[in-house]
Amino acid sequence: MVHAITLDSVSHHFQTATDRIVLFEDVSLDIQAGRSYSIAGPSGAGKSSLLTLVAGLETPKAGRIEFTIDNRIASQTTLRKRSGFIFQQFHLLPELDALSNLALPLRLKGDKNAYDKAHAWLARVGLTARARHKPAQLSGGEQQRVAIARAFIGDPVFVFADEPTGNLDEKTAEHVAELMFDFGRTDQRALVLVTHNRALAAKADHRFRMAAGELERLP
CATH number at residue 153: 3.40.50.300
Full 3-state SS string of the chain: CCCEEEEEEEEEEEECCCCEEEEEEEEEEEEECCCEEEEECCCCCCHHHHHHHHCCCCCCCEEEEEEEECCEEECHHHHHHCEEEEECCCCCCCCCCHHHHHHHHHHHCCCCCHHHHHHHHHHHCCCHHHCCCCHHHCCHHHHHHHHHHHHHHCCCCEEEEECCCCCCCHHHHHHHHHHHHHHHHHCCCEEEEEECCHHHHCCCCEEEEEECCEEEECC
Chain length of the chain: 219
Picking from 24, 34, 81, the residue whose alpha carbon sits closest to that of residue 212 is: 24
- Please report how many Cα atoms fall inside a 13 Å half-sphere around the Cα of residue 134, on the Cβ side: 5
pLDDT of residue 13: 92
Note the pTM of the prediction, 2 decimals.
Answer: 0.94
pLDDT of residue 77: 95
β-pair partners for 208: 39, 217
d(CA 86, CA 180): 10
Task: Collect all residues with Cβ–Cβ distance below 8 Å to 91 and sequence separation of at least 6.
Answer: 147
| Identity of the amino acid at 60 | P
d(CA 216, CA 52): 18
d(CA 149, CA 183): 9
Domain that holds residue 157: 4-218
Asked if residues 176 and 144 have their Cβ atoms less than 8 Å apart, the reply is yes
Counting the structural domains of the chain, the total is: 1
With a cut of 50, list the residues of the chain below it in pLDDT: none
pLDDT of residue 44: 81
- Relative to beta strand 158-162, strand 190-195 is parallel
pLDDT of residue 219: 87
